[in-house]
Amino acid sequence: MAKFSAVYFVALLVAVSGAAHEEHSRTKRQAYTFPDGFLLGAATASYQVEGAWDEDGKTSSIWDTQTHDKNYLIADHTTGDIACDSYHKYDVDVQMLRDLGVDFYRFSFSWPRILPDGHGNRINQAGIDYYNKLIDLLVANNIQPVATMYHWDLPQNLQDLGGWPNYVLVDYFEDYARVLFRNFGDRVKYWITFNEPLTFTGGYEGAYAHAPAINAPGYGRYLATHTLIKAHARAYHIYDDEFRADQQGKVSITLNVDACFNYQNTTEYQDACERQQQFEMGLFANPIYSAEGDWPAIVRERVDANSKAEGLAESRLPVFTPDEIEYIRGTYDFFGHNHYTSNYAIPYDGTNDPASDQKDHGYYLTKDPNWPGSASSWLKVVPTGLRYQLNSIATRYNNPPILITENGFSDYGDLNDTGRINYYTSYLTEMLRAINEDGVNVIGYTAWSLMDNFEWNQGYSEKFGLYQVDFEDPTRPRIMKESARVFQQIIATRQIPEAYRT
């Protein structure tokens, strides 16, 4: 009997151990598995891939002007005149997306391709036809179109009126949005009004910035932001009032925000990080996503105080009226989030400096030298930063549905792009931890980018693509990189491959 009991006990231990191991394995699999209904896609933007800069009725954008007239601002002195030639090769792009197996494709409309004069009195049918062909082919291949209305290529005609600091652009953007909803809303169900306003409003802060490179520090960003937030709200309400009932889509904005870590683990440095969050995310998000609306209190206080100290009669930060605050607040269906990297915020006393947004926010950003790098000086690999930033959004704005609309890694175009593979798998792992462990409501993820393309002021010197593009070949052939094969596997299995689990 004692012998039988010992054997039984050993068998019981083995069974319990096996069950525990199976439970551990199941839990581990779940930790690396995407939730049901989670969306996976890839992205591009019109100026970066389309080319055909002056074909079929399209007029110049501010990026045509930047690359043609200020090519000293472009690292390799190139242009987007041809880029990836997606205007003529959109069918090849869709086949690439189909090969990847994506759920959606995020692209952007070119405003001057659709409305050559910038406003709605003249619609370019060739532009409408091009996007109809692209969208129809996506839908035919069960790829959901996710469309950005404005990804930085403002018609030069409207910049000649002053660009985004001119409030008349609210009306012009309304015309543009209505044309898009009317022509494409039967098939496009995810709309993004503006991509990365933090970046493109910087084009009004310095002569060496992104287009239009206007040197108006301390004023330009705030004026442009005031306009675009009202334009965003106008487009949202147009959709609500005129199109939502029939089209049943979603409208929001995409904001780019880096995570910020407390460099010295002190209150002073934590306060600098909080200012980074409020001036880089809250400036755009607070009016739309917060319960109270309006600018963040700390932004209002600091810009007002600096303006007064500078002897100005009015603050450099414009004012939203009570009616505007109410009109803007809540104009979202999800939170579009672009995320690439993280920073430390170093407290900065700019008391005696001229007016600037850096003086207002009181910090400058730096990187940890131990963080792995990329081909971009600003892009260090910090996967935990994505989880941190997703939690920051969830905490500040009542855990809205978050669609990660860009995330990616730059190199010099190698096909065996192990750096990009490690970047995607590590960042996706941290995203899944934010979902599974922290309860953050992330609904989708977008790889930037589908293919190597024109990277703004860096030209073609940095590459973000899942597919390599040969820009020396007039036919612009695309070749699948190793990262595309891994992303393809992730989409097919809805899991992080075991080889990349940490």
Q: Specify the DSSP element, H or E, that contains 50.
A: none
pLDDT at 355: 79
Query: Is the torsion defined by CA of 120, 69, 205, 149 positive or negative?
Result: positive
Euclidean distance between CA atoms 187 and 174, whole angstroms: 20
Q: Which residues are catalytic?
A: 406
> In b/e form, how buried is each residue of 17-49, taking b as 16+ CB within 10 angstroms?
eeeeeeeeeeeeeebbebeeebbbbbbbbbbbb
Coil vs helix vs strand at 429: helix
Q: What's the confidence (pLDDT) of residue 352?
A: 76
Reduced to 3 states, what is the DSSP secondary structure of residue 147?
strand
pLDDT digits (tens, 9 = 90+) for 212-228: 999 999 999 999 999 99
Cα of first residue to Cα of last residue in the chain, in angstroms, is 47
Quote the pLDDT of residue 354.
Answer: 85
Q: What pLDDT does residue 207 have?
A: 94
SS3 of 235, please? Answer: helix
Classify burial at 154, counting beta carbons within 10 Å of its beta carbon; exposed 0-12, middle 13-18, buried 19 or more.
Answer: buried
The helix/strand/coil state of 430 is helix
Identify the CA nearest to 397 among candidates 389, 406, 405.
389
Say which residue the tokens 């062909």 belong to.
133
| Segments of the chain scoring below 70 in pLDDT | 1-29
HSE-up (13 A, CA, CB side) for residue 483: 30
Q: For the segment 350-359, what is each residue's pLDDT rounded down to a tens digit?
A: 877 887 888 9
Q: Helix, strand, or coil here: 194?
A: strand
Look at residue 17 in the predicted model and tell me its pLDDT.
54
Question: In the CATH scheme, what is the homologous superfamily, with its name and number, of domain 37-500?
Answer: Glycosidases (3.20.20.80)
- Give the phi and the psi of residue 451 in degrees, each rounded to 5: -150, 160
Q: Compute φ and ψ for 301, nearest 5 degrees.
A: -65, -45
